[in-house]
Amino acid sequence: MYRIVTKEALKPTVILYEIEAPMVAKKAQPGQFIILRVDENGERIPITIHDYDREKGTVTIIVQTVGATTEKLSHKQQGDYLHDFVGPLGKPTETEGKKKVCVVGGGVGCAIAYPVLKKFHDCGAEVHAVVGFKSKDVVILEDKFKAVSSVMKVCTDDGSYGQKGLVTEALKELLDAGNQYDEIFAIGPMVMMKFVCKTTAPYGVPTTVSMSPIMIDGTGMCGGCRLTVGGETKFACVDGPDFDGQLVDWDLAVKRNQMYHDFEVHKHEEVCN
């Protein structure tokens, strides 16, 4: 059982949970994820690690309350326990040897983008950040991003904060301004990552994406998280979650991710009612 040490609502539907999980904290690295179950009968959901404290033995995740399981999780309070918290899973993000990078985060994906961005910074890279949100009231972690980025652009869909428009437009401005990046790293909704890749393709900049498809066992056995990358079948849980975004079959990935949408909406309604 894994105790919730801290629960903090960053926004009404975006919650930070610090979980007591010493074995996970001991080995966790940016880019990796955990799979949790709220209770014995709960579904397994993968969540990318936001932060960890090896001394305290805790792992921090930031979760958007969007479906049945995240709704159930949001009803847990500080001091309550989670049934499972397995990890760290997946390969850590490769951050060594880069001089200049741009990290693009979308929505709650920014919670995952931050540790990657910080690790690039700590490894000596100049880091630019482009983060996008629907509107001002869901902007998260801005100060943390600013502290480790030499250039930062905040975009909102409705223009209520920062630059109005999509992250791809802000990214294109940075590329057109002559910034030579060794790598662009995108984390967020699949559709956002797909269009980041379309934006960077003409510039020939290596573009890495962090994929979070449906996962079940997290060990490469069930096939739930399979993706087609460069014409080959890959499992996000063991081969990723990071992949060369230009090689991902996006149409297939998006389609697979939407397969359980109706079921998920139904389960969410059940939990809420």
Residues at the contact surface with ligand FES, assessed by CB under 6 A: 215-218, 220-225, 235, 237
Please state the closest distance from residue 242 (CB atom) to ligand FES, in A. 14
Whichever of 10 and 216 has its CB closer to ligand FES, that residue is 216
Minimal distance, residue 238 CB to ligand FES, in Å: 6
Question: Least distance to ligand FES from the beta carbon of 19, Å?
Answer: 20
Cα 45 to its chain centre, rounded Å, is 13
C-beta separation of 90 from 32 below 8 A = yes
Residue labelled with tokens 């910080």: 118
CB of 222 to ligand FES, least distance (A): 3
Radius of gyration of the chain (CA): 18
Q: Which is nearer to ligand FES, 145 or 235 (CB)?
A: 235
Place of tokens 């994820």: 33
* d(C-alpha 130, C-alpha 168), whole Å: 9
User: Cβ(82)–Cβ(1) under 8 Å?
Assistant: yes
Q: State which residue, 182 or 264, has the beta carbon closest to ligand FES.
A: 264
* Closer by beta carbon to ligand FES, 98 or else 234: 234
- 53 or 217, CB closer to ligand FES? 217
Q: How is residue 129 written in tokens?
A: 């950040």
Provide the minimum distance between the beta carbon of 186 and ligand FES in the complex, in angstroms, as a whole number: 21
Q: Count of CB atoms within 10 A of residue 203's CB?
A: 15
